[in-house]
Amino acid sequence: MSDLRERCEAMLSRLSAGERKDLLAGTEILHLPGHVPPWTRTGVRVMKGDCVTWLAAGRIVISPELDLSGGPRFHLWGRIGARGTIMNGPGETFTLTARDEGPLDLAIYHGEWATPEGDLATPQEAYASVKGAIDVCLLHWRRPGLDAARAGLGRLAELARDEPLLAAELERLESPARDPAGWRHLWFLGQSRIFESARTNGRDAIRISMHDDLAILQKPAPFELVPGTTLTWAWKIDSLPAQIAEDTLPTHDYISLAVEFENGRDLSYFWSCALPVGHAFACPIPTWTARETHLVIRSGRKDLGRWMRESRDLYADCVRIYGSAPTRIAAIWLIAVSSFRRGRGDALVADIALEAGGKGLVVL
């Protein structure tokens, strides 16, 4: 169990009774065990426009044997009301603004969401083997709007300078993560701070920086897939998140550019730390095995830190991988995973384009 309860109780005790009444409509500290599926009704009820900050600590352990675990960024989610849209934070802290009136629910996420309202696509019975817990301190601010949340967090930070979660949330509110223009996070993996827009050598790029995290960024790219369709991009990978071959579940950390097809499948081109170029394999994550195939196009660390240009005959790759090619491309993805072995990954990606028969589509 984390010490978050003691830390938050000590932090809140430093407010005078008058300040607490003026700043906060309510507080609650919850212990959310990993084996309880998935939604818990909190004691916080919000009006439209209200802000609630959560400060979270702890870890959900999926498999002690495989050393698979994750923190609040991936496993802690919220919603307003039983059918509200689910949301998560990009780290251990988050301030939500209520779009509707209702009670606040929190969830420990394990498996995969089926709907944006928080229905599970995977069986609830899978929770039975999950270990660990996440502790959450909820701060329901009395006045609506993010300015009130900033002011309240700022006051608490003055009184509890030794509490890192307060400083983290203040910093996040001052510089919130924004998806690069035209791109969005895959909804059922949630928001992150992994991707950001960048300019390098006079061109637009996306910077990838992660540690013990994962996310997928997507951009629609409707394009017919015909013989000779070419996918090109440039990337500079400074550090690979994996240290050993990435084709097993406990070692599946990687950075890739992937193509999603209209049939729901995707082909992921990645730079491996050890697997041979040309090696293809189904994703080892059980819920992704049927939908995603990985293809190694570079291997080793020799060219890390250098801009490398890639060009793939996408149609030919599909025929090789699937036996035949889908008819249309739906989207381009950037995938960043470092949550299995909890390493670091850093890269820049630019100049993504599709071309076939004299027609082209610039993605980035």
Q: Output the pTM of the full model.
A: 0.94
Quick one: CA dihedral 81, 87, 89, 92, positive or negative? positive
Average pLDDT of the chain is: 96
Domain boundary assignment for the chain: 4-174, 184-362
Please identify which residue in the block is written with the tokens 């089926």: 114
4-174 CATH pick, 2.60.120.430, 2.70.98.60, 2.40.10.120, 3.40.640.10: 2.60.120.430
Tell me the pLDDT tens digit for each residue of 143-185.
Answer: 999 999 999 999 999 999 999 999 999 999 998 878 899 999 9
Distance CA 84, CA 54 (A): 18
The count of C-alpha atoms lying within 13 angstroms of the C-alpha of 126, restricted to the half-sphere facing its C-beta, is 15
Q: What kind and span of H or E run contains 321? A: helix 314-322
Whether 355 and 230 have beta carbons less than 8 Å apart is answered as yes
- Which residues touch 249 (CB under 8 Å, ≥6 apart)? 66, 68, 284, 285, 340
pLDDT reported for residue 176: 81
Domains 4-174 and 184-362 share a fold: yes
Query: Is 208 exposed, middle or buried, given 0-12, 13-18 or 19+ CB atoms closer than 10 A?
Result: buried
Return the CATH architecture of domain 184-362.
Sandwich (2.60)
Counting as low any pLDDT under 70, the low residues of the chain are 1
DSSP for residue 85: P
334 three-state secondary structure: strand
Number of alpha carbons in the 13 Å side-chain half-sphere of residue 268: 29
